[in-house]
Amino acid sequence: MIISVIFVVLIVFSIVVTLIYLESTDQKEETYMSNYHYEVTIKADKPLNNATLYLPLPVFENRSIVGEEMVSKASNDIYSNSPGWNFSLVHTEYGTMLEITNKKIVPTYHSLPEPISEDEEVPMKKNITESNEYSEETPVLRPIRFTAGLTVNQSLNTKYPLGNESVLVPKNNLSTTEPANMVSPPEHIDPEYYEYESRLFAQYNTSELTGVDISVEVTGTNEWWAGGWRFNSFQDTVTARMNGTQNGWITAKGNMVTGDGIYDD
């Protein structure tokens, strides 16, 4: 009798586990999405005149589908919201890059957020003071940011994107490195870290004291629902710091993280 009860319990348990697995598999297939997110950030603390930038793009097999999306998005969205900016793809000695031009790039500074006491109600409209110059009243430099997202119809190889997916080019002297932060990821997540040298072109006139920071980043992500949202991704970033007038190619710093997230294999 006891053996029969145990046998029945095992059968029921097996059926429940199978149903949970099938439901989880169906949920994953129905919700699975893969996409790229590309972002350009420019911070100039003083005006730049007659600016031309060539910035790294994610490229695969000599084509940048993300760059094409950025230029298309610019023609429909960025131009209308930020007149004066021009975007195009340009072929250079270092590969296909994003060309950005503007006759005058003017910085925007804003005030610090005002603290709210516990008894005070949150205002419906924030009181933010803006200026084109640094001052004690407006000490925070607002970055100029352009983004483009692209959903693709196949899973991205986020564990081994080099040679398999759209990553930033150029990449020189690529080597493995240690994570920048000291917090270790969970035991079941084991990303790889890389550093390399890249290039970007900058041409503009400005004050000798002007500082310009440029960041270019692409993230490739797979995400799905299986009792909760899960994902895996790679992130590729190029950064550069420049001072004064520029007229040529700049060596930039590249960092890449691959295999970040949850994998079934």
Q: What is the pTM of this model?
A: 0.82
Structural tokens at position 246? 């520029």
Has residue 19 been placed in a domain?
no
pLDDT in tens, 71-125: 987 655 555 556 689 999 999 999 999 999 999 999 988 888 766 655 556 555 5
CA angle 88, 93, 95 (to 5 degrees): 55
The residues, any chain, with a CB within 8 Å of residue 45's CB and separated by 6 or more, are 107, 134, 141, 210, 211, 212
What does the angle CA 59 – CA 249 – CA 171 come to, to the nearest 5 degrees? 35
Q: Domain limits at 90? A: 37-115+122-261
| pLDDT number for residue 24 | 45
Q: Which amino acid is at 219?
A: T
Reply yes or no on whether the pLDDT at 30 is more than 90: no
User: 227 lies in a domain?
Assistant: yes
Rg (CA), the chain: 24
Kindly state the average pLDDT of the residues 40-57: 96
The answer to whether residue 16 is domain-embedded is: no
How many CB atoms within 10 Å of residue 110? Answer: 15
In a domain, 182, yes or no: yes
Asked if residue 137 belongs to a domain, the reply is yes
Determine, yes or no, domain membership for 154.
yes
Residue 2 inside a domain? The answer is no
Domain presence at residue 205:
yes
Domain total for the chain?
1
